[in-house]
A and B are shown apart, each in its own frame.
Chain A
Amino acid sequence: GQQVMQIPQYQHVQEGEDFTTYCNSSTTLSNIQWYKQRPGGHPVFLIQLVKSGEVKKQKRLTFQFGEAKKNSSLHITATQTTDVGTYFCAGGGSQGNLIFGKGTKLSVKP
């Protein structure tokens, strides 16, 4: 079945450094969503991208959807300790379903 691969699995950064997580699918996605899960919490919706090549920004977070709609990235500029958590991408599949990546766990050292 359709799969969405997400890398890296873990990322440890010093506060102030940048962070990027990547998602790749072997098939075209209808959309891509990003979620953040804080430690002990539940996933919270961040954003959805639908158009080929789309780029959206939320303060220090930049989200991209690839031209072929098969890959996406989330970039955080100048990380803060509040950015700690696991970031999941989720791609819209051909059956109207959502396929989650395994997530990237971000830790930030103050």
Chain B
Amino acid sequence: KAGVTQTPRYLIKTRGQQVTLSCSPISGHRSVSWYQQTPGQGLQFLFEYFSETQRNKGNFPGRFSGRQFSNSRSEMNVSTLELGDSALYLCASSLGVQAYEQYFGPGTRLTVT
């Protein structure tokens, strides 16, 4: 069974731009969660989607948004990028809601200059 895939793997953007990251979950998984990982803050939860509906949301500004499609693929968007948005963005999928075992993708490394 193929794992979670994320595209692109690396991205360099400048301040003020916007970016869209993509995540394809494991086949059959209906929940997709997004996390931001930085050296000082660990794994910070962004949001979770289950069957195209946002179930939970972390404490991030409205510049961070996401969506899930009918095939469970998910995208997250960050608008008006700031230097502090530089991080590894991880997507994780699970069979059920977020409290189930999470399968993480390799992440997208975003650098904002």
Contacts and interface: CB of A to CB of B under 8 A. Distances in A.
B25 interface: no
Majority secondary structure of chain B interface residues (helix, strand, loop or mixed): strand
A96 B98 contact: yes
A97 B104 contact: no
Given A45-B102, A95-B56, A100 B41 contact: no
B99 A88 contact: no
Contacts of B101: 33, 45, 48
Contacts of B26: none
Majority secondary structure of chain A interface residues (helix, strand, loop or mixed): loop
A74 to B, nearest CB: 16
Interface in B18-64: 33, 35, 41-43, 45, 48, 55-56, 59
Contacts of A43: 43, 90, 92, 102, 104
Contact of A103 (B42, B48, B104, B107): B42
Contacts of B98: 96-98
A42 interface: yes
B48 A97 contact: yes
Contacts of B41: 102
Contacts of A44: 104
B66 interface: no
Contacts of A35: 102, 104
A5 to B, nearest CB: 11
A85 interface: no
Contacts of A101: 42
Interface in A30-50: 30-31, 33, 35, 41-45, 48
Interface of A: 1, 30-31, 33, 35, 41-45, 48, 88, 90, 92-93, 95-103
15 contacts: A1-B59, A42-B104, A42-B105, A42-B106, A42-B107, A43-B43, A43-B104, A45-B102, A45-B103, A93-B99, A96-B56, A97-B97, A100-B45, A101-B42, A102-B42
Closest 9 CB pairs of A and B: A102-B42, A92-B99, A42-B104, A100-B43, A96-B97, A97-B56, A98-B98, A43-B104, A45-B101
